[in-house]
Amino acid sequence: MASGDIPVERVAENDHAFAIRDINPRAPVHDLIIPREHIADAREIEAGHAETLAGLFTLAGEVGRAEGVHESGYRLAFNVGEAAGMTIHHLHLHLVGGRQLGHEG
């Protein structure tokens, strides 16, 4: 995805991350914000990743505004490990919104 090998719809990007539409959306707005630096999952985050993570969350805010869910609200979530439903072994942040979300999302 990052290299352009897999066709995806890019929503936004910055120096540290890019955002794409989820191919199996769980809500009207469901984007993935993906750091350019490889981090397998949240269990591997270290202090040295601070700049990457700042870029990731900054982009998430920009995507929320661009997708029109900034005012109504949205969910940001990491899946960590297979039991949580993680299927892509590269850290990515789900931005989900566009409808009323329950506790299970």
Q: What is the DSSP code string of 26-88? A: SSSEEEEEEESS---SGGG--GGGHHHHHHHHHHHHHHHHHTT-TTT-EEEE---SGGGT--S
pLDDT above 90: percentage of residues in the chain: 77
The predicted model gives 16-37 an average pLDDT of: 97
- Selecting among 16, 38, 70, 92, the annotated active-site residue is 92
92 catalytic? Reply is: yes
How much is the average pLDDT of 23-40?
Answer: 96
pLDDT in the model for residue 83? 85
Give the mean pLDDT of the chain: 92
Extract the tokens encoding 14. Answer: 């910055």
Confidence of residue 6 (pLDDT cuts 50, 70, 90): low
Residue 86, pLDDT score: 83
Higher pLDDT, 55 or 2: 55
Domain locations along the chain? 10-97
Question: Residue 25: its pLDDT value, please?
Answer: 95
Specify the CATH class of 10-97 in words. Answer: alpha beta
